[in-house]
Structure 1
Amino acid sequence: MAISATLHCLTGCAIGEVLGVVIGTALGWETAPTIALAIALAFVFGYSFTIAPVMRAGLGLGAALGVALAADTISITVMEIVDNAILLLIPGAMDAGLDSVLFWASLAIALAVAFVVTVPVNRALIRRGKGHAVVHRYHH
């Protein structure tokens, strides 16, 4: 169950990241504000993908937010550091347009690498009773 909760969080994080990069690129923003938006949306979506099922399990918003913060902060932080670093390292990725294969391929590669790095981090946290182990009793 805790790995399932981890996947929910990483899915939300990835959705937020993609939306942020797509919105920033579509609006013609520079790299820094685009990445800032992507990071902000990754946290919003990552936390929300944990908060919703925890609230369905009976916790109020405040308690569910506390659980999400405890469970997801390290995971989302690692994912965001890795995927944005990859995007910055791929030449031209942040300047490519939405109609570019480079844009979408770079984003896919960055998210894939970030996922591969983040899952073992989450597993280590779960083994220590941290991260998504905190959410385990609330996910059904």
Structure 2
Amino acid sequence: MATVIDNNPGMDEGTASRIVAEALKFVHAAAQFPMVRIAPSKVVDEGWHALILHTELYARLCEGLGRFVHHYPERPDSERYDEQVIVRTQATIELAGYAIDGELWTDPTKTLVGVAAQCQHTGCSSGSGCGTVRPGQCATSGE
């Protein structure tokens, strides 16, 4: 949470906590369903970035989930937002057993929660089916 707050001056602890919680849900869903093409929203990606910066903690998290979830950031591009990927991601997270904080999964141009994260992912098929995906294209879980 502190990393999210540090990267987003003025953000309150409650919002940072919600962002990190959604990032944890995303990572769990990506690890549990590695062949489903999912990606975080721009807001949730901020929480994922914060988790990844704490490498030992993130590695232990992924180990506990049974699969390392890699992060391949894409350059900012307002044309890249893919609502179908976000809807599929939300459904996958719900399938993993979590409720979605809908306010944090909106179109980046319509969100009420501003964050410093600039990458927006389009998602990809992951695991062994991700062989045609190049780094820089998507968020994926690996074997």
Per the TM superposition, whether the score is higher than 0.5 is: no
Q: Which is richer in strand?
A: 2
Q: Which is richer in helix?
A: 1
Flag the structure with larger Rg: 1
